[in-house]
Chain A
């Protein structure tokens, strides 16, 4: 697979790719879809996964199944000249893409510092180097504008309440919270599931809740539960902050306000 990526990267570096930039792309993650729209090549996307809902135009793209298990028949039928995926749990589909001789590129979207390099890689694939550079610079600039924090606010990032899934180290959420002056209490890497006891034994100053729950009643219950323990509860939009896109940097102020509790 590495060879394949190198191969694709090599063509993408050559000038020829600008003439042959992919015209029929399938993007297998909501973040990738959004990034392609940011690069101005959203119209080249012929298929994407469920939950690809931003920008609004993305909602009209045909679906090829969900993020974890895209449907290979549907992918073949859309005749893509490139399939883009992220490196989170995609190996099963890559085996099948390889077998069906469909070109694909796997991009690393796990850690925030990779956004500029990630968007650069995407830009090269589509001959949009300038636009990618611009977005990368905007990202760096916005992050550098955040003042260095003085205090470390004990933070817990809760992704799912009932099964207690949290964001740990080596995730872009962790890095953003750190930039904002938060100190993530979960030191394990990735997105671990905590035991109820462990969850309750942590004493954060603030709880960032990023659950997908839209049910008002459930949400209120969760909020009341944490508030009863004198922990500040902040609801953070998973759509904006759960995907590695430029929107994350553009809205970092909102996230930092949630972490610090400071309205400025």
Chain B
């Protein structure tokens, strides 16, 4: 519990830091004096950006936790399911059709791609009775490669300008006009934190071998489908805002395990969500500090910070639960 309180405090510090970081310097006095421009930047631009960074990070963290629990695999993350492939294919198709500058159509394309990928892997994996997790993860990886090839094909046909927007989309960043969708992402993040904490016992059962978990009264197939739906919902609302952001989903569950020294889900769900949010906020604040008026995609900092940190964490502990 004290870890959660600590992180809530850290989140607030980061939110304030994020609100005062950007190419335009804003003083607290500007806000009190109702400086129209400062207020506009503070609320209309930066507030949504901060909210987007936190919500996207939180959603990806939660999705990563679910993926690692479902597959009992420390390397699993939302994109292992082929969701990134589906989402990218949706986005690149939309760009290729010439709707790349239309925010609503881009969002729809991405969202549809993400969910189509889910239905494909469920269709492939669910048909059998045995080893449902293994089949799902293998279908996911295959789907990723398949979509990846299609994307490469599409990209070679794109004109330079469309190519650039496709590449920027795939690096993943916030600070675009899609930030304004972040309230929806935030609602999904909070709702999922509550819902998953509520069903923490069922999630804990997944950590056991599937024979044990079934004997403990878990309806395996139903639970797997529900978890995959939850992962897709979390991933799709974040990719529509930020494009492809890697690593947050992978690293957040590991940090929460390190802090809690336990893989039980009672506190871990909320903690992982908060860690994901903070992690991406830090990445975005750094991107803004270093970038100035020329935006650096914040997605590029995730692995830059995340990879060394994860290696350090792993070197400090013995086994994996």
Q: Which residues of A does B touch, CB under 8 Å?
A: 50, 63-66, 68-69, 71-74, 76-77, 79, 88-89, 91-92, 95-96, 99-100, 163, 165, 190-193
- Closest 3 interchain pairs by CB? A91-B101, A77-B24, A71-B293
Of B38-46, B234-242, B264-272, the one contacting chain A is B38-46
Of listed B102, B163, B164, B176, residue having the most chain A CB within 10 A: B176
> Do A191 and B160 touch (CB < 8 A)?
yes
Per DSSP, are chain B's interface residues mostly helix, strand or loop, or mixed? helix
Q: Give the CA-CA distance A262 to B176 in the complex, in Å.
A: 50
Tell yes or no: B161 within 8 A of A by CB. Answer: yes
Interface residues of B in 152-178 (CB under 8 A from A): 159-161, 163-165, 176-177
Q: If A73-B23, A74-B24 touch, does A65 touch B160 (CB 8 Å cutoff)?
A: no
Which A residues lie within 8 Å of B293 (CB)?
Answer: 63-65, 71, 74
Q: Give the CA-CA distance A163 to B103 in the complex, in Å.
A: 29
> Do B44 and A99 touch (CB < 8 A)?
yes
Least distance between A211 CB and chain B CB atoms (Å): 14
Which B residues lie within 8 Å of A69 (CB)?
Answer: 294-295
Q: If A71-B23, A73-B23 touch, does A89 touch B101 (CB 8 Å cutoff)?
A: yes
Least distance between A142 CB and chain B CB atoms (Å): 30
Which B residues lie within 8 Å of A191 (CB)?
Answer: 159-161
Q: Give the CA-CA distance A64 to B295 in the complex, in Å.
A: 11
> Do B159 and A76 touch (CB < 8 A)?
no
Least distance between B259 CB and chain A CB atoms (Å): 34
Q: Give the CA-CA distance A34 to B266 in the complex, in Å.
A: 63
> Do A96 and B177 touch (CB < 8 A)?
yes
- Name 20 extra pairs, CB < 8 A, besides A73-B23, A76-B37: A63-B293, A66-B294, A72-B45, A73-B41, A73-B45, A73-B46, A74-B24, A74-B293, A77-B41, A79-B37, A89-B101, A89-B161, A89-B165, A91-B101, A92-B103, A92-B176, A92-B177, A99-B44, A99-B177, A163-B160
Q: Give the CA-CA distance A71 to B45 in the complex, in Å.
A: 11
Which B residues lie within 8 Å of A91 (CB)?
Answer: 101-102
Q: Give the CA-CA distance A63 to B37 in the complex, in Å.
A: 18
Least distance between B31 CB and chain A CB atoms (Å): 14
> What are 12 pairs between A and B in contact, CB < 8 Å?
A65-B294, A73-B22, A74-B24, A76-B37, A76-B40, A77-B41, A88-B161, A96-B177, A99-B177, A100-B45, A163-B160, A193-B163
Q: Give the CA-CA distance A88 to B41 in the complex, in Å.
A: 26
Tell yes or no: B180 within 8 A of A by CB. Answer: yes
> Do A76 and B24 touch (CB < 8 A)?
yes
Our pick among A68, A76, A92 for the contact of B41 (Cβ within 8 Å) is A76
Least distance between A240 CB and chain B CB atoms (Å): 22
Q: If A73-B22, A77-B24, A91-B101 touch, does A99 touch B159 (CB 8 Å cutoff)?
A: no
